[in-house]
Structure 1
Amino acid sequence: MGRGRTHFFKDLSALPWPLGLAVGVCGYLAIAYGIPLVFARPGSAFAPAFKAGSHPLMPLAWVFLGLCVMAAVASFFRARHKRRLLDTRAGLDSISALGWRDFERLVGEAFRRRGYTVEETGLGGADGGVDLIVRRDGRRTLVQCKQWRREKVPVNVVREMYGLLTHHRADAAHIAALGGFTADAAAFAEGKPIELIDGAALLRMIREVQAQSAVALTRLPSVESVASRDIAHDPAAPNCPTCEAVMVRRSNRRTADTFWGCSTFPVCRGTR
């Protein structure tokens, strides 16, 4: 695959898969029928070639459609991989087990579930930089992901991010780091549009979006809640033995037995 075609495929696969398919269909119709309609006009030197049942551009139309279909398939599976990355995280150990690339995808998916549009810049790499650009409500935020498990992010990294924030004229910057930040780094970020997200804060963000996704899924016909849907209203609710999330009281519709179920079901199926 040539360099130009590679970039084209990469750009297409970065789009939502339905949009990629739509581009393919529109492009196919334009090449297969739109262009021939122009060249087949009376008096055109190309009219004889394009009046035939199979004109010279048909192979190009099929190639374009095929590339778009492959890009849409790649986009579909990439999006599913990101959803599973987030849905299967049960604690800091499961987050720290990810590679740096999947860690970036996890952070991006967490922002996406919170209503942001997410652009993966590819400018960061394993050592950091601007890994993501997230947008919401007209604000543009730069995100750097540091999957340092045993090291705290020093102040010079935060200074560099502040410089990137100014250079790109963004509204804010976030740095997500599993190992946390040094005291100097936290002091430098104070009062600036820089949010430091340590491992505990990232886990809270992930559990929040997991719980939001579970709210709609808990309406399955086999299980229903017999208590308030707001788990904060039940002070007796225990923590899940599997993921430590707050549990909610549920009942089995077949046997009428009540039990405690994890609030993140079906992501976690812990019960008491």
Structure 2
Amino acid sequence: MKFKMAEKSLFAILLRSPWWISLAISLAIGLVARALLPPEYFLFGAMGGFPFLVIAVIAAWRQFSAPSTAHVEATLAQIGAMSWRDFSAALGQALGREGFEVRRLDSAAADFELLKAGRTVLLSGKRWKAARLGLEPFQALEAARRARDASSSICVTTGEVTANARQFAVAQQIRVIEGMELAQLLRPVLAAGKS
């Protein structure tokens, strides 16, 4: 089970920020502790910067292992050129690599039923090529989630999600996989297909 951090917490913000910001905060805490505390208490004061050092290491690892913008754009272009049959096969394979049992659905609202650790997730991906994704597919996906009593749902797209649709997705806790996240999900499968 993944630990979910509040998106607006200080640590979540720092994880999304350049790694050196967290390192600078950690060093600043150490310098303040050195300047203001007696030598016998310096170590205790400097330990206040340790969580920021950990955040700096995690952020650096994420940032250095993330694909370049050019690579993401190339992968998204490759995804956009795929037929539904090829895209759905690659998506199913990628989700299988993530530990999901993938079942295809014959539904207008959801294309896959994903099973993992006793949880059922519905996934909609048939409109992955749509330049702009509005409210309707998200409403249909939410209705299908309720009808099938699934625990959550996911929508996959390479296009733009309208503001109303994004607000609805947030309110209904529909996860939107797009951009870099979609490229990273499919990259191993697409790379294996080339070799």
Range into which the TM-score falls when normalised by the shorter chain = 0.5 to 0.7
1:183 aligns with 2:167: no
Cα pair 2:127 2:157 within 8 Å, conserved: yes
**How much has 1:147 moved relative to structure 2?**
4.0
What RMSD over aligned residues (CA atoms) do the two structures have, in Å? 2.5
CA–CA distance in structure 1, aligned partners of residues 130 and 148 of structure 2? 30
The answer to whether 1:165 aligns with 2:145 is yes
1:108 aligns with 2:108: no
Give the alignment partner of residue 94 of structure 1, picking from 69, 78, 81: 78
Matched residues in 2 for 1:101 and 1:180: separation? 22
The secondary structure found in structure 2 opposite 1:133 is strand
Per-residue Cα deviation, 1:85-113 (whole angstroms, up to 9, x for no partner): xxxxx611111111122222222111111
State the AA in 2 paired with 1:95.
Answer: I
Give, in angstroms, the shift of residue 171 of structure 1: 0.4
User: Does the 8 Å contact 2:130/2:157 carry over to 1?
Assistant: no
Amino acid aligned to 1:184: N
Aligned residues: 122
SS of 1:115 mapped into structure 2: coil
Q: Give the counterpart letter for 2:100 in structure 1.
A: Y
TM-aligned CA deviation for residue 268 of structure 1:
7.2
Q: C-alpha offsets along residues 233-256 of structure 1, whole Å, 9 cap, x if unaligned?
A: xxxxxxxxxx9xxxxxxxxxxxxx
Identity of aligned residues (%): 25
The CA distance in 1 between the partners of 2:83 and 2:193, in whole Å, is 21
1:134 aligned to 2:118? Answer: no
List aligned pairs for 1:155-234, cutoff 5 A: 155-207=135-187, 210=188
Q: Within 5 A, what are the aligned runs for 1:1-272?
A: 91-124=75-108, 129-207=109-187, 210=188
Report which of the two structures shows the higher radius of gyration computed on alpha carbons. Answer: 1
Structure 1 unaligned segments of length 5 or more: list them: 1-89, 214-242, 244-263
Q: Which runs of 5+ in 2 are unaligned?
A: 1-73
The residue type paired with residue 120 of structure 2 is R
Match of 1:6 in 2: none
Q: CA deviation at 1:150?
A: 5.0
Superposed CA deviations along residues 172-231 of structure 1, whole A, max 9, x for unmatched, are 111111113111111111142310112432112223xx2xx8xxxxxxxxxxxxxxxxxx
- Distance in 2 (CA, whole Å) between partners of 1:182 and 1:151 is 10
Determine which structure has greater relative contact order: mean sequence separation of CA pairs < 8 Å that are 6+ residues apart, divided by chain length.
2
- In 1, distance between residues paired with 2:179 and 2:84? 14
Contact 2:128 2:156 in 1 (8 A): no
**TM-score, normalised via structure 1 length:** 0.41
SS of 2:160's equivalent in the other structure is coil
Residue 119 of structure 1: SS of its match in structure 2? strand
Q: Which has the higher helix share?
A: 2
Shift of 1:165: 0.8
CA contact (8 A) 2:111 2:126 kept: no
- How many angstroms apart in 1 are the aligned matches of 2:160 and 2:106? 23
Residues 43-67 of structure 1 deviation map (CA, whole Å, 9 limit, x = unaligned): xxxxxxxxxxxxxxxxxxxxxxxxx
Q: In structure 2, do the counterparts of structure 1 residues 109 and 180 end up closer, same or farther at CA, with 3 Å as the change threshold?
A: farther
Residue in 1 that maps onto 2:70: none
1:128-169, Cα deviation, whole Å (9 max, x unpaired): x22100111110000111344352110121111111111110
